[in-house]
């Protein structure tokens, strides 16, 4: 099991690095506001991931599996979305407007992935054992390892505010304790 985790982590970080590079490259393009459907899809995606992984017990030897599995699932879903959008953009019957919207959505997904990865690294650098960040239209959800006190909640909300510009009242902080 430990060898499998060691193999998965470089893969996850490789995928995140590629997404980060694509997001930085995409930053030069002006991206329009997301549609209502995209807003609802984002909320649904985060709620699904949180509900799926919050029910899993953390094994003593696999304390980081929650965070690794969350990232793997998130990136797999995002990769499927990007692939579908690329197929739409590449289809010969796709009109220019639809092609442009598909390309904008790809860029938006890449920027979102880059911001989430940057926030996760920043939280780990600030001393949190591990964290996952999910950007949503109405705010940000942060899940950290361990118990979350009101002081920790305020600290994380301030970090998110200063890094992403999201108001502290729009930041939901959840703690993931070992069970």
- Whole-angstrom distance, CA of residue 56 vs CA of residue 54: 6
Reading phi first (left if > 0) and then psi (alpha if -120 to 50, else beta), residue 61 is in alpha
Of the listed ranges 18-27, 41-50, 76-85, the one predicted with least confidence: 18-27
- Whole-angstrom distance, CA of residue 16 vs CA of residue 170: 25
pTM of the prediction?
0.63
Band (pLDDT 50/70/90 cuts) for residue 178 is confident
**What pLDDT score was predicted for residue 12?**
53
| 96-146 pLDDT tens trace | 999 999 999 999 999 999 999 999 999 999 998 889 999 998 999 999 988
pLDDT over 80 at 169, yes or no: yes
Domains assigned to the chain? 2-176 (1.10.287.4300)
């Amino acid at each position: 099991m430990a060898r499998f985790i060691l193999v998965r982590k470089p893969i996850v970080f490789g995928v995140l690095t590629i997404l980060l590079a694509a997001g930085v490259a995409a930053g030069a393009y002006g991206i329009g506001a997301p549609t209502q459907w995209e807003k609802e899809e984002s909320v649904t995606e985060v709620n699904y991931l949180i509900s799926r992984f919050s029910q899993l017990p953390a094994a003593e030897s696999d304390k980081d599996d929650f965070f690794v599995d969350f990232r793997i699932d998130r990136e797999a879903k995002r990769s499927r979305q990007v692939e579908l959008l690329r197929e739409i953009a590449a289809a010969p019957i796709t009109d220019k407007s639809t092609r442009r919207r598909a390309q904008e959505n790809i860029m938006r997904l890449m920027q979102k992935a880059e911001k989430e990865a940057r926030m996760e690294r920043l939280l780990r650098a600030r001393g949190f054992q591990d964290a996952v960040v999910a950007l949503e239209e109405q705010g940000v959800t942060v899940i950290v390892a361990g118990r979350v006190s009101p002081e920790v909640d305020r600290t994380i909300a301030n970090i998110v505010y200063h890094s992403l510009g999201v108001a502290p009242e729009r930041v939901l902080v959840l703690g993931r304790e070992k069970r």
